[in-house]
């Protein structure tokens, strides 16, 4: 996406292995990631002033046999905050975490005029036990791994009444629980994807300059184009609605049109259990089924690039909804109660039961849906409406 330079990945078991690699000079340019952003610095012939001020290096370039270290993360942070509309000048900021990534954000906040910067750690003077005393906090930056591939969040943002901006360095899932809560509170927020891609663009330019004196991707608009493409590719479309509303049929057709993998959560549950859902209900009851369902929802929804058909009651557990939202948009397939298929569905024994169930669940579907699609007539029409919506996300 950024050029024609070959690129691979190497992993090292310890700092000695890192040192052997650096001394070998076998690569003329590479990125360095956690936990070696500081350890690599003493192995280099020169370090860019900004990287030295930050105290970490993430990009190394060989120029005429000498190794120079740079920090392109800072450029990634600057663009990410700009795109998110988060202004730090004169603001009181909290950084969650005290590792190498935190150093980059401290430098950024100082450079752009934050009034105060406090670092929260598990065992420091300012920790997760007393952090809520920082009632004047306006900017929060998360550099910890809490929230990666999960719906956990490091703290409760609702307790910071003056909050104006939140940045989460995590980019998987696309919308962490921290970012989602910030947005629900009307606070500007961003994940780490823009930062990730922009630092890559800047690093790529350093590699290209060292190779032949050219810059391959000059404009940061290329970063935003790539971010939009990645978000579109990775975002799930999660179909919710009553059992018998056509989620599996619609999902399979939508999968073909969008070129995304189709996953039926009920089928995944049956594979895991080695028995049908009616059999699960009959032998172990609904409570057991919901437990297994939640486990499958978490495993599937945290992955990206899928069309996911959920069970009718999956939305009853708020943590399930959180997982659905973490990497996707929720589409409610709305079908009238009398049109719902009822065969083989343990909780849909007769129309009266279905209507009572529908009355309890409809407010939940309405609340969590990003898009509503009527599915009472031709299925292809319903698929077409969702397809048009999906192209906009």
Question: pLDDT digits over 333-346, tens only?
Answer: 999 988 887 665 55
Do 202 and 127 reside in the same domain of the chain? no
pLDDT at position 113: 98
Residue 37 a catalytic site member: yes
Residue 349 has pLDDT above 70, yes or no: no
| Long-range CB contact pairs, 97-103, < 8 A, 24+ | 97/121, 97/142, 97/143, 97/144, 98/124, 99/34, 99/143, 100/34, 100/35, 100/37, 100/38, 100/55, 100/56, 101/34, 101/73, 101/143, 101/169, 102/141, 102/143, 103/54, 103/55, 103/56
Domain containing residue 291 = 235-390
pLDDT tens, position by position, 365-381: 999 999 999 999 999 99
CATH number for the domain including 42?
3.40.50.10860
Do 212 and 173 reside in the same domain of the chain? no
Q: In the chain, how many domains are there?
A: 3
Do 67 and 211 reside in the same domain of the chain? yes
- Average pLDDT over the chain reads 93
Do 260 and 369 reside in the same domain of the chain? yes
* Count of beta carbons in the 10 Å neighbourhood of residue 112: 15
Do 343 and 316 reside in the same domain of the chain? yes
- Give CA–CA dist 264/277, Å, rounded: 13
pLDDT tens, position by position, 95-135: 999 988 999 999 999 999 999 999 999 998 999 999 999 99
- Specify if 316 maps to a domain: yes
CA 149 → CA 176, 177, 256, distances in Å? 8, 10, 27
At 139, the pLDDT band (50, 70, 90 cuts) reads very high
pLDDT at position 26: 85
- This prediction's pTM: 0.90
At 5, the pLDDT band (50, 70, 90 cuts) reads low
pLDDT at position 25: 87
At 91, the pLDDT band (50, 70, 90 cuts) reads very high
pLDDT tens, position by position, 266-319: 999 999 999 999 999 999 999 999 999 999 999 999 999 999 999 999 999 999
CATH number for the domain including 254?
3.40.50.300
Q: Which of 9, 37, 211, 247 is catalytic?
A: 37
Q: Give, for 96, the enclosing helix (H) or strand (E).
A: strand 92-96
- Specify if 5 maps to a domain: no
Do 47 and 99 reside in the same domain of the chain? no
- Edge to edge, the sheet with strand 236-240 lists 261-264, 306-309, 236-240, 328-334, 371-374
- Specify if 4 maps to a domain: no
- Specify if 266 maps to a domain: yes
Surface-to-core class of residue 181, CB atoms within 10 Å of its CB (0-12 exposed, 13-18 middle, 19+ buried)? middle
Do 140 and 216 reside in the same domain of the chain? no
pLDDT at position 34: 84
């Amino acid at each position: 996406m950024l050029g024609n330079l070959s690129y691979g990945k190497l992993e090292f078991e310890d700092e000695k292995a890192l040192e052997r690699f650096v001394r070998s000079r076998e690569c003329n340019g590479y990125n360095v990631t956690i936990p070696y952003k500081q350890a690599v610095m003493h192995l280099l012939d020169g370090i860019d002033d900004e990287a030295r001020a930050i105290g970490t290096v993430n990009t190394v370039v060989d120029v005429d046999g000498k190794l120079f270290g740079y920090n392109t993360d800072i450029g990634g942070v600057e663009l990410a905050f700009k795109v998110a509309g988060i202004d730090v000048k004169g603001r009181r900021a909290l950084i969650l975490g005290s590792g190498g990534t935190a150093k980059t954000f401290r430098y950024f906040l100082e450079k752009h005029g934050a009034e105060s910067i406090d670092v929260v750690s598990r065992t420091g003077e300012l920790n997760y036990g007393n952090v809520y005393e920082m009632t004047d906090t306006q900017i929060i930056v998360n550099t910890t791994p809490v929230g990666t591939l999960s719906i956990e969040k490091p703290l409760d943002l609702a307790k910071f009444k003056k909050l104006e901006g939140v940045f989460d360095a995590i980019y998987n899932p696309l919308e962490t629980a921290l970012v989602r809560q910030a947005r629900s509170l009307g606070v500007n927020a961003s994940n780490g994807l823009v930062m990730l891609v922009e630092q890559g663009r800047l690093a790529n330019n350093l590699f290209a300059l060292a190779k032949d004196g050219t810059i391959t991707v000059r404009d940061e608009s290329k970063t935003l184009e790539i971010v939009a493409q990645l978000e579109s590719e990775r975002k799930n479309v999660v179909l919710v609605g009553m059992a018998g509303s056509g989620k599996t049929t619609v999902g399979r057709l939508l999968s073909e049109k969008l070129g995304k993998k189709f996953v039926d959560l009920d089928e995944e549950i049956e594979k895991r259990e080695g028995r049908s859902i009616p059999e699960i209900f009959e032998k172990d009851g609904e409570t057991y089924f919901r437990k297994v369902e939640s486990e499958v929802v978490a495993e599937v929804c945290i992955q990206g690039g899928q069309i996911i058909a959920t069970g009718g009651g999956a939305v009853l557990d708020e943590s399930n909804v959180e997982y659905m939202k973490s990497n996707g948009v929720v589409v409610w397939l709305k079908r009238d109660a009398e049109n719902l298929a009822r065969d083989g569905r343990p909780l849909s024994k007769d129309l009266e039961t279905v209507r009572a169930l529908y009355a309890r669940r409809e407010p939940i579907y309405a609340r969590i849906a990003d898009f509503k699609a009527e599915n009472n007539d031709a299925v292809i029409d319903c698929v077409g409406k969702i397809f048009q919506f999906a192209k906009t996300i």
